[in-house]
Amino acid sequence: MAATPQHRGNLLLIGGSGFASGTIARVAQRRGYRVWAITRGQRQLPEGVTGLEADRHDSAAFERAVDRPGVRWDFVVDCIGFMAPDARQDVAVFRQRAPQLAFISSDFVFDPARRRFPQPEETENYLADDSYGANKRRCELELLNGDCGDMEWTIVRPCHIYGPGSQLGCLPLHGRDPLLIARLRAGEGLKLVGGGYFLQQPIFVRDLANVILSAHGNPNAYRQIYCTAGPDIIESRDYYETVAEVLGVGLEVEEIPVDAYRREHPENVSFLCHRIYSLDKLSAHGLDVPSTPINSGLREHTKSLLP
């Protein structure tokens, strides 16, 4: 019989029924956490997770849901915050209710035209428009500048997250494309911006969960921000090549000119750059370092979508 994991504490997820949040919930339970999740109650939670139903945009209902179980929260993970008021709410609600909070941000916070290789955590070149990445940065600033009291926080900035529970695809036109497998099997050419030459470091979803959970109770991770990426730097085209290989088919690529696409779709500029990071800070601070090779992770991901 497998040994019962030692109780690690009470974990509260904001979100919990989605791709990344659901994986965090399952990994956390295997590590010995008791897991609750605040959601709107519209999707099923992973087995063993206790649901707390509330819309976070209803502040009073959200706070009542947090208090309803009558337990001490040892660790809170905000999986769905993407606007500054969400992070402001985290500070207001949890600074006296939890010793530590983790916030899932995004590597899209960086200005794609002013990146470095590898891109460090600290820069003066953040997005400041109305984009997803700029709003994630505003969330980060709420934690950086807010009155958090004794609550410690940790921010992770994942690159493209992949793995079972999500659709495949890492570039516009075929990003999280539910028809990707059917397209490849039919011999349809994929339309990849720049032919898919952009470099990136996709992170396997269980690796992301392990990074986040390893921050719990680690003083080195307090009030720190981490670029959180996988171990392999690949061309985006290689991602699709691997999926095609698992399916036993060839890959045909139609190159979409970068400049024309950028002009027509400014909302997607954060995809149109190299996204390269060092994992040295994670290692130096004693956090779990993502280790799943892209080939094995994509094989598992692809096979999870096959009938």
Burial bucket for residue 258 (CB in 10 Å: 0-12, 13-18, 19+): middle
pLDDT of residue 276: 98
CA distance 69 to 48: 15
Q: What are phi and psi of 82, to 5 degrees?
A: -145, 5
Which residue ranges make up each domain of the chain?
9-161+205-229+278-291
- The chain-wide mean pLDDT, for the chain, equals 97
CA distance 150 to 79: 21
pTM for this predicted structure: 0.96
In the predicted structure, residue 2 carries a pLDDT above the cut 60:
no
User: pLDDT of 3-42, one tens digit each?
Assistant: 567 888 999 999 999 999 999 999 999 999 999 999 999 8
> Among 163, 174, 199, 306, which Cα is nearest to 253's?
174
In the predicted structure, residue 97 carries a pLDDT above the cut 80:
yes
pLDDT, mean of residues 162-178: 98
User: pLDDT of 222-240, one tens digit each?
Assistant: 999 999 999 999 999 999 9
In the predicted structure, residue 1 carries a pLDDT above the cut 70:
no
CA distance 93 to 224: 20
> Among 247, 253, 227, 249, which Cα is nearest to 107's?
227
pLDDT of residue 87: 98
pLDDT, mean of residues 287-299: 98
pLDDT, mean of residues 105-113: 98
pLDDT of residue 7: 84
pLDDT of residue 6: 80
pLDDT of residue 129: 96
CATH architecture type of domain 9-161+205-229+278-291: 3-Layer(aba) Sandwich (3.40)
Mind spelling out the 3-state secondary structure of 218-281? Answer: CHHHCCEEEEECCCCCEEHHHHHHHHHHHHCCCCCEEEECHHHHHHHCHHHHHHCCCCCCCCHH
pLDDT of residue 4: 62
